[in-house]
Amino acid sequence: MTEPDVLDLWEHSVREHADGPALVTPHRVLTYRDADRLTDAWAAFLAERGAGPGQLVGLAFGDPARTVLGMLAALKAGAGFTVLDDRLPPAARAALVARTAAAVWLGDGAHAPEGAQVPHGPAEDADATEPTRPVRRAGGSDVAYVLFTSGSTGRPKGTVIERDALRRFAAAVASRLELTTHDRWLQVASLGFDVLIEEVFPAFAAGAAVVCREDTRALDAEELHIALARTRITVVELSTQYWLEYARWLEGNGAATPETLRTVVVGGERMDPVPYRRWQARQPAALAHVYGLTECTVSSTFYTGLLPADAEEVPLGTALRDVEISIRQDGRPVPDGGTGEIHIGGPLLARGFLDDEEATAGRFVPDPYAARPDARVYRTGDLGRIGPDGQLVFLGRVDDQVKIRGHRLEPARVERALCEGGGVGQAVVFPDPETGTALWAFTVPADPAAAPLPGEAVRLTGADRDALVAPLEAQLPDWAVPRVLYRVSVLPKNPHGKVDKRRLAAWAATASGAPAAATAPVTEAAGTEQEPLGTVLALFREVLDAPALGPDDNFFDHGGQSLLALRLLARLRESRPGAAGLRASALFTAPTPRLLADALAARSVAHL
C-alpha cells in the first residue's frame, strides 16, 4: 500500500475541482488543472537538474504566485523547498544560501542567488506531449521544507519539516476552518515566514483558491480593505499588530469588513481582550486566534469562540487534530489548571534544526509519558495553563525570547551584535513597552568616561545612533534592528538578578539627547505654507509618541517601522486629501516631517 503523501491532497483537489480556481493573481487565474500541468513541467525541470528526495529546492522569486508554484513543483520532484526572504540583508542571504546547499535555485527576484533559474512552462502546442511528473515519490519522513527562525548565536535556526507533518497540518487546518471549494485565501505573509505555509496548503487541501498579490510590498489598512473586497476574499491571516491596525482603521472610518470575508485568522503575539471583544461586537467577519511555532508546523491551536465578558486573556484555543498539548514543570505534567511550560507533541513536530544536533536535542526532548516509545515533545519556552473549558491560555515566556511584529526573536542575538561593533560593553534589547512593535536598545559604553550619570538615559541620535545601527542593518532583517537606542551607565537589576526593564523604561521617559530643533514648536496658520508641515509634524509626534520631535527628525531614527508607517499614512489620509494614494514606502524617500510635507505639497500642485 502506498504511503500517504502531502501531494495526495493536491491530487484530490485536481480530480474533484479541476476547473475551479487554484491560484489567482492580478493578471491570471490558474485552475487546478492549469496549475497541475504547469507544476508538472516545473517538477520535470527540477528533476533533470538533480532535485529529488532528501534535497532542497531554493526559491527566490519576487512574485508570490511563482513562489507558491515553486513550492508545489519541488514537492512533486520529491524534494523539499526553502524560501529566501527578500528582506534579508545581502550577507545574511548569502549565509542562508550556503547553509541550505540547495540542489537547484529558482528565482528572478533581485535577491536571487547567482545561477537561479526560471523553469519553462508546458508547451502550448496542442500536439505537444504533456509534461510528465517525475516518478520518484518521496516518503513521509523526507523533508518538505526548511524555514529559518532567529537564533541567539547570530546563526538563524533552519527548521526541517517533513512531508507527513505538512500533510497532516494542511488537512487539519482545512478541517478546523471548514474550508470549501468556495473559499479564497489572500496571501499576505512575508515570503520566508512560516505563515505562508498556512495560507497555501490548507486551501489547496480543500480545493479553495489562493489569491496572490503582484509583489510582496506591505499593504496599509486601507489597501488591505480594498484588496479583500475587490478579490472577494473569504479568509485572511494577519499578525496581531497588523490586525490591530486594520481594526483601528475600520472603526475610524465607520466601516465593516467586506461582505465576502468570513474569517480573519490572527496570531503571533499576545492578544488584548478589549479590541478582540470590540471586533466581535461590531464586525461581521469571525476571528480565529491561533498559536504555534515554526518547529511544530505553524499553528498548533485555534480559538474561534465568542470571548466571555470576564475573560482576562484571549485563549489560544484547543489543539488541532494530530497535535498534543501539555503543561509541564521540569518536564513533568502539572495538575489540571496548573501553570507551567507549554509542551507540544504529536506527528506535526519538525524533524529538528538543520545541521544543529545540539539545538535539536535541547528543544525536542523524549516524552516519557507518551504511549509510543519514540515519542518527542517540543519545549516551547511559553508559559501557559489549560482552563476548565479545555482552552489553552498564554501566560508569558519562560526565557527572554520575544515576538516582534509576528516574528520570534532571541534578543541575545541583537545584544551580541551591538557589543561586537566596539564601543559597547553591555547591551539589552526588548520591545517598547507601549506598543511592542519596535525594539529598544540600552547600551553601556565600554569606556566609562562616555557613560551618562547613574540613573540617566541619553537618547542616541545622528552619527552616534548610525554607528550602532548600520552594522545591525547589514546582518539582521529590518524588524530585528532596534530603532530607539539609549546610552546608560549601568544595566540595573531587579531582586531576581534580571535586568530591570521597567526601570530602564522609566529612565527613557525622562531621557536627554533630543536634538535642539526638536524642542522648538512649528508656528503655523491655516492657509499658509507652514500649515501642511504643522499637520504632518503633529502626526509624526502622535504616531511615534514623541512630543519633542522636530521637523527635520527622521521617522526611522525615532522608533518608526513598517506598522507605524502604515498608521502614519492612514492618519495623513484622514486629514489631508493630498495624501490619498500615498504608500508607506514614501517615508523611505521623505522620512522627516519637512520632507514629507514638501512631497504632499508637490502632489497637491500636480493635481491642480
Q: What confidence tier does 527 reach under pLDDT thresholds 50, 70, 90?
A: very low
Q: What confidence tier does 1 reach under pLDDT thresholds 50, 70, 90?
A: low
Q: What whole-number distance in Å separates Cα of residue 214 and Cα of residue 62?
A: 9
Q: What confidence tier does 433 reach under pLDDT thresholds 50, 70, 90?
A: confident
pLDDT reported for residue 24: 98
Contact indicator for 537, 529 with CB cutoff of 8 Å: no
Q: What confidence tier does 162 reach under pLDDT thresholds 50, 70, 90?
A: very high
Q: Which of 26-30, 322-326, 426-430, 543-547 is least confident?
A: 543-547
Q: Which of 92-96, 169-173, 381-385, 556-560 is least confident?
A: 556-560
What pLDDT digit, counting tens, does each position of 330-343 carry? 899 999 899 999 99
**pLDDT surpassing 80 at residue 421:** no
Question: Average pLDDT in the 588-600 region?
Answer: 86
Query: 106 has which bridge partners?
Result: 59, 117
pLDDT reported for residue 555: 87
Full-model pTM: 0.80
Q: What whole-number distance in Å separates Cα of residue 591 and Cα of residue 596?
A: 7
Residue entry with cell 550577507:
91
φ and ψ of 84, to 5 deg: -85, 120
Q: Give the CA distances from residue 42 to residues 68, 82, 117, 121, 215, in Å, rounded to whole numbers and listed in that order.
A: 12, 16, 11, 7, 21
pLDDT reported for residue 233: 98
Q: Give the CA distances from residue 363 to residues 151, 193, 367, 378, 582, in Å, rounded to whole numbers and listed in that order.
A: 13, 20, 12, 6, 45
Nearest-5° Cα angle at 65, 93 to 225: 100
Q: Which of 415, 417, 439, 440 is nearest to 427 (CA)?
A: 415
pLDDT reported for residue 366: 96
Q: What confidence tier does 475 reach under pLDDT thresholds 50, 70, 90?
A: confident
Spacing of C-alpha 210 from chain mean position:
18
Q: What whole-number distance in Å separates Cα of residue 286 and Cα of residue 496?
A: 42
Measured between its terminal Cα atoms, the distance across the chain in Å is: 72
Cα torsion angle, 524, 527, 529, 534, sign: positive
Question: Average pLDDT in the 30-41 region?
Answer: 97
Q: What confidence tier does 518 reach under pLDDT thresholds 50, 70, 90?
A: very low
**pLDDT surpassing 50 at residue 516:** no
Compute the mean pLDDT over every residue in the chain, rounded to the nearest whole number.
87
Q: What confidence tier does 103 reach under pLDDT thresholds 50, 70, 90?
A: very high
Residue entry with cell 504533456:
130
